[in-house]
Chain A
């Protein structure tokens, strides 16, 4: 299967589970789109008003971004009045508007994203947010999970590791088998496909 075909399968399968896939020209474009989505979304509904310090501003966590792009994101956030969080996501138990994470891999067969979540911040950023923006390099999209079992083995063999497969938003069909999104985690998942360096 050609790389193009793998990517189109990934997009198709991810869209089937209501992920919103964006083609972007590069990392900077991805960050700008991210900010745009954050600005356009409704403010986060605080699930624990008594325990959260609400500044009235939207908040965005980006715990695993490299320094260079984190800087860029910080500039964008400042410009648009968004609070950017790198650490201490636990202090926002009532929820955050957005979590932005750099993903390790994509899996075409199921439209799945693979994320090294060893850090608590990464885990919480992707679970306590209402909107999760996942940025993944096209070159890191594999055909099936089984075909990348070596890579997965490498990730999971490390003591204290925590590896996540994420496919679409948090969902349930527990009441009358009707699909509802966002039961515990994100209500929306956006995927930004970037070209590798």
Chain B
């Protein structure tokens, strides 16, 4: 692996190249679709949330007791005749393994797949010592021969076609090879068998390290780890200290979930439990020489960190990549350094440094799909933002994010700027509600959607004329508008006001409310996000309302899930009270005022629903908007990608427009294929992205906020 400083521009070029790779795109897309079904089937007989909670709890406990488990394991292993080594750094681990090779006169090594070995670049080190190292996992062997790293945690060569593999095997065997998968697999069987027999040493990783019995648990489909740990006379296992568990029970608990989450398999073909050193008839005294090298590489420090300790709950299933909309577009080499997917965006910083992490960490839409499937229960999107903020704190904040932070902190300045912008943009809107040509700050690559213009009269200036106080209200709410509806789509709020009136709801509009703060958090401006959070809490505190209603799922999710955490050292009680009251529009209709206030339309249309990430995953709301659509009289059509991110992700679409565009295309194609001509959603950001994309591509899809399709 070549370690070099890559500029943001170079990183983006790499993304563009990947987006143009048709094979990669098709392979990634087929996988994303197939994975959804196989995962669902794999968990069909169990309560998936409950079993994942069990795994997360097991791992969290093990992280807490790590030191003790390491101690217990080491004692047991030494008792059993295993040599235990502790490597503080990657270099130490490499050095120790090279030394073992030297002492045992090992010139040829076979390896089974180990992400930990990838983490420390072990192969490179050993090869520099003149040792021949052969990967035996088929995918890993392929990428080794190509001098690449794996592009997925459990499917290392998923980015390659059979033709590329056939060409590679032709080079290796000097015999022309057909691009037939069955035959290519046989080539590997024949080529690698020799390597096992000749090898002096076998290196494996481990999925589970059991302290009570001093046992390693290794899961493989190919069975290569069994040969690697059986044929050579020396066995070295390289394991991160995060793999330690108390007993086999915990290992079995995880093993029930890991393969299901990784590939939708109930179990891998082989799970091997080695208490070692095992019988080896070619070794002195017929016992294999066995070493375990424990790798720290920053893990011990991480285990003590209140925020990042949960990173060690990762079981390396790779599911966070499987469901990631960005991974689906660009593949693993572009969405990871060594570790791939959401977890890679986090661990790269710790294991491979800021330089390799700083662009990568921004390539996240914050859709939360990873968090929803994580077997270790890790709050991946949150930690990605934490890393983003950490890097900016260390390196200095970029001007645009610094400015955004400063502006957002000052509500009056922010709103004045928006109002000024509505006048300044006139030459480019030509009197239409859209920006015909993009203003200078946006480059041409943002031109994949037609962006709306800023309204001349924001909702805050319209509220007083729209609302007449009600007597004996059914309930009291305060409206949280969010910036986009206030300044771009006030009509969405106006539509909602009609329903509130019909339902006799008392509505307050606190004028001191500001941006929810999510854009600041997305750009790594944690401090600004905290400040606006406090402002909003203060603005709504005086109102004495029953609920705080918003029509923006992103605002709702941020106010509910992030704000209390951001302000926990400043106003924990107020924040709890505030966030408790926050409700998103469809939820408020269905659970509080009732859907009966909605009159069915006489012109029903085929209607698809786009569930905003912050609605279905952020708030866990799936049914409320669909009940509202049903009551509206429109014909709801279920689409395959209903809960897939639209690619907006706030600043994400500004930072990575080419990726955002492709995610959006995928989404809109799915809607078009469903035959729907009306696409409803519940977040103005999603409306902006989806409507802009449909307009740009002249697709006959009318994109609406849910408030706009209901009649009261």
Contacts and interface: CB of A to CB of B under 8 A. Distances in A.
Interface of A: 13, 16-17, 47-48, 51, 90, 93-95, 109-112, 118-120, 123-124, 127, 144-146, 149, 152-153, 155-178, 180, 182-185
A156 B269 contact: no
A-B residue pairs, 10 tightest by C-beta = A174-B139, A185-B223, A165-B271, A163-B273, A159-B80, A110-B267, A174-B138, A170-B223, A180-B185, A47-B193
B182 interface: yes
B272 interface: yes
12 contacts: A93-B197, A119-B279, A127-B223, A127-B230, A153-B248, A159-B214, A160-B287, A168-B269, A174-B138, A175-B181, A177-B27, A185-B226
B137 A174 contact: yes
B276 A124 contact: no
B158 A184 contact: no
B295 to A, nearest CB: 23
Nearest to B156: A174
Given A160-B279, A162-B273, A175-B185, 18 more contacts: A17-B269, A90-B282, A109-B266, A112-B271, A123-B230, A146-B252, A153-B247, A153-B248, A156-B213, A160-B276, A160-B287, A163-B272, A164-B226, A165-B267, A165-B272, A175-B138, A177-B27, A183-B223
B591 interface: no
Given A93-B193, A180-B182, A157 B275 contact: yes
Contact of A120 (B161, B193, B280): B280
A87 to B, nearest CB: 9
B485 interface: no
Contacts of A16: 266
Nearest to B46: A109
B34 A177 contact: yes
B223 A159 contact: no
Category for how many chain B residues contact A: 35 or more
B247 A120 contact: no
A123 B224 CA distance: 12
- Interface of chain B: mostly helix, strand, loop or mixed: mixed
A13 B266 contact: yes
Interface of B: 27, 30-31, 34, 79-81, 136-139, 142, 155-158, 160-162, 165, 181-182, 184-185, 188-190, 192-194, 196-197, 210, 212-215, 221-224, 226-227, 229-231, 247-249, 252-253, 255-256, 263, 266-282, 287
A92 B271 CA distance: 24
A161 B275 contact: yes
Contact of A177 (B158, B267, B278): B158
B252 A118 contact: no
A175 B266 contact: no
Among A172, A180, A184, which residue has the most Cβ atoms of chain B within 10 A? Answer: A184
Contacts of A110: 266-267
B275 A183 contact: no
A103 B80 CA distance: 25
A178 B227 CA distance: 23
A48 B80 contact: no
B39 to A, nearest CB: 14
Contacts of B280: 120
Contact of A127 (B139, B221, B227, B263): B227
A90 B232 CA distance: 11
A162 B248 CA distance: 14
Contact of B31 (A94, A175, A177, A180): A177
Contacts of B160: 175-176
Given A118-B278, A164-B272, A172 B221 contact: yes
Contacts of A178: 181
Nearest to A17: B269
Given A123-B226, A184-B223, A156 B248 contact: yes
Contacts of A47: 189-190, 193-194
